[in-house]
Structure 1
Amino acid sequence: MKILIVDDSATQRLIVRSIVDNYDKNFETIEVTDGRGALEYINKGDIKLVFSDINMEPMSGTELVAEVNKTDIECIFAFITSHLTESMQDQAKELGVQYYLTKPITQEKIENVLKEVFSD
């Protein structure tokens, strides 16, 4: 299973990757720094889960989800942000984002998403 980690912060990517790798060594984790890079990987297919920051340039997390929604590709998004406003959460819900994690990222937060997504 492939998991994509999208964040402009190398530290945040490392934290998420470490938790995912410790949870299950069979996951293939891929890291990118922005939405455009993520879109390239997602368009190739096989990405099951995307952990994505919301505030990135040149393409934000919400813009990334909107672009993916224009395709037939199905993947699950978990947004990671330092602060989640009600309007951001409403916009994410409209786009079909299922998970919202606020920083600081913890092992428990990431593992809860992994358990739900990969429980079957």
Structure 2
Amino acid sequence: MSDEPRTPLTERLLDLAVEYRSGAAVVRATGEIDLSTAPRLAETLADQPGTVVLDLTRVAFLSAAGVQAMLDVRARGRELRLVAPPGCRANRVLDLAGVTSVLTRYESVCDAVAP
């Protein structure tokens, strides 16, 4: 048996990295955004100051719970910009959920952080 600390399952399913560019908090998501990981995503998004850019380029799976976490940020009056270039897996769910009129998508982080 190993003495190494175990990483919680939600952290293994979804990695969130935050950086600040041009006055915006860029949250890069890698992995799966589902019912178990959406609360951590929502918390990370809510903790960022100002404009938040969520990069979904490396998201392999997006559930309705993840979409709801994004909508909750918007409902609190925060500006949320999504990076979901053509071919991004998250686009299908975003289109099916019908949120494209509420959540603005960009093809790159550079486009999303531009004034």
Q: Return the TM-score normalized by structure 2.
A: 0.51
Deviations 1:32-78 (A, max 9, x none): x8321111011112263111338346822x22222112102222112
* Distance 1:34-1:78 versus aligned 2 partners, 3 A rule: farther
* More strand by percentage: 2
Paired AA for residue 51 in structure 1 = D
RMSD (Å) for aligned C-alpha atoms = 3.4
The alignment covers a number of residue pairs equal to 84
Does the residue aligned with 1:8 lie in a helix, a strand or coil?
strand
Which residue of structure 1 lines up, in the alignment, with residue 31 of structure 2? 8
Larger radius of gyration: 2
Q: Return the TM-score normalized by structure 1.
A: 0.50
Deviation of 1:4 after TM superposition, in Å, equals: 0.9
Deviations 1:61-115 (A, max 9, x none): x22222112102222112374374498267131332323xxxxxxxxxxxx5122
Does the residue aligned with 2:72 lie in a helix, a strand or coil?
helix
Q: Distance in 1 between matches of 2:94 and 2:64?
A: 21
- Residues 7, 56 of structure 1: 8 Å contact kept: no
Paired AA for residue 72 in structure 1 = G
Percent identity reads 5
Give the unaligned 5+ runs of structure 1: 10-32, 100-111
Q: Distance in 2 between matches of 1:51 and 1:82?
A: 12
- Residues 6, 34 of structure 1: 8 Å contact kept: no
Matches within 5 A, 1:10-89: 34-46=37-49, 48-52=52-56, 53=59, 55-56=61-62, 59-60=65-66, 62-79=67-84, 81-82=88-89, 84-85=91-92, 88=95
Among candidates 83, 89, 100, match of residue 93 of structure 1? 100
